[in-house]
Structure 1
Amino acid sequence: MAIEKVREHFAQWHLQHKIQELSESSATVELAAQALGCEPERIAKTLSFLVNDGAILIVAAGDAKIDNAKYKSLFGTKAKMVAKEEVLERIGHDIGGVCPFGINEGVAVYLDESLKRFTTVFPACGSSNSAIELTIAELETYTPYKEWIDVCKGWND
């Protein structure tokens, strides 16, 4: 199970106990915010895209949307999400639990600037009913991210 891969990921820092397994679904931003009792924008959603036949992840604030022009300018291609039926195979987690922890080899992770306005955020942990609360510094430490990027809109209007 993908949540076990995430537990193993956090075990290297002895933080697996921080993973919250919820009694209700956290598969969408709205459901996660409701289950965790926080603002939807503080949900760190992880979006999966295809770039040059490879998969990438972009972790963004719950109220942010991909800006196609910014995305194309940065990645040199149109934003194309990984097909639902391919997400588990390409990323290592299924839809509703996709996160930047315990992922498959070769998947590049990017953190979007939309997250930096929060003290803590809540990314998923590999299942549709899990999350972990992390500071931005912790997110940087525990995520194998390549760089911070600015490819979203709608959050700073």
Structure 2
Amino acid sequence: MSLENVKTHFKQWDREQDIMEFESLSSTVEQAAETIGVTPARIAKTLCFKGEGDTAILVVAAGDAKIDNKKFRGTFHYKARMLSPDEVLEQTGHAVGGVCPFGLANDLDIYLDTSMKRFETVFPACGSENSAIELTGEELFNYSFAKQWIDVCKGWQEEEMKETVDKTNDEL
């Protein structure tokens, strides 16, 4: 059902045929990266947090990024509290492992983390534990009806800097 909602969502741009369905699981960043054949950082993971009141918010981030509680609080003015799997299903209509910012059960605020901007394309899930779609950052922003790009993650800059240092050292 959830995958069908996402396909319906993408019909408005004639992109439903671009959703990839796999024989193997893609419900974790590592599984998705292996199944698709890309680095885990290019998997666009959707994280669900308690918003103000009874609402939820979604933050989509690169697969190698982790929420920075200080940045999150600075951006949203409240503590980052992830939803339980039951709350995620209730708010999004998608079970954990297939959560994405498309075809949602409720009208939720969606934010995209800048950790994804270093890639030409990323791969968010499509409502099931064995689906994904390849999108540019601009497409992800438009198709998800995101409110804005934000910077609430950590971990990925350090990895990016390590790769740059390693490359520089190899060249020396």
TM-score relative to the length of structure 1: 0.98
| Range with bigger deviation, 113-122 or 46-55 | 46-55
Q: Residue 2 of structure 2 corresponds to which residue in structure 1?
A: 2
Query: The residue matched to 1:156 in structure 2 has which SS?
Result: helix
Distance 2:140 2:146 in 1: 9
Q: More helix by proportion, 1 or 2?
A: 2
Name structure 1 gaps, 5 residues minimum. Answer: none
Q: Report runs of 4+ in structure 1 exceeding 4 Å deviation.
A: none
Q: What number of residue pairs does the alignment pair up?
A: 157
Distance 2:155 2:40 in 1: 13
Q: Structure 1 counterpart of 2:18, which letter?
A: K
Name structure 2 gaps, 5 residues minimum. Answer: 159-172
Q: 1:116 Cα deviation (Å)?
A: 0.3
Query: Which one has more relative contact order, counting CA pairs under 8 Å at least 6 apart?
Result: 1
Q: Residue 29 of structure 1 corresponds to which residue in structure 2?
A: 29
Q: More strand by proportion, 1 or 2?
A: 1
Cα-to-partner distance string for 1:19-50 (whole Å, 9 max, x where unaligned): 00010000000000000000000000000000
Distance 2:107 2:86 in 1: 19
Query: The residue matched to 1:98 in structure 2 has which SS?
Result: coil
Counting only pairs closer than 5 Å after superposition, residues 35-114 of structure 1 correspond to structure 2 as 35-52=35-52, 53-114=54-115
Distance 1:74 1:85 in 2: 26
Q: RMSD of the alignment, in Å?
A: 0.8
Q: Residue 14 of structure 1 corresponds to which residue in structure 2?
A: 14
Distance 2:19 2:125 in 1: 9
Q: 1:139 Cα deviation (Å)?
A: 1.1
Q: 1:75 Cα deviation (Å)?
A: 1.1
Distance 2:119 2:108 in 1: 25
Q: Structure 2 counterpart of 1:94, which letter?
A: A
Distance 2:146 2:104 in 1: 11
Query: The residue matched to 1:145 in structure 2 has which SS?
Result: coil
Distance 2:28 2:137 in 1: 21
Q: Does 1:122 align with 2:123?
A: yes
Larger Cα Rg: Structure 1 or Structure 2? 2
Query: The residue matched to 1:8 in structure 2 has which SS?
Result: helix
Q: Residue 149 of structure 1 corresponds to which residue in structure 2?
A: 150
- Whether the 8 Å contact between 2:91 and 2:106 is mirrored in structure 1 is no
| Range with bigger deviation, 24-33 or 83-92 | 83-92
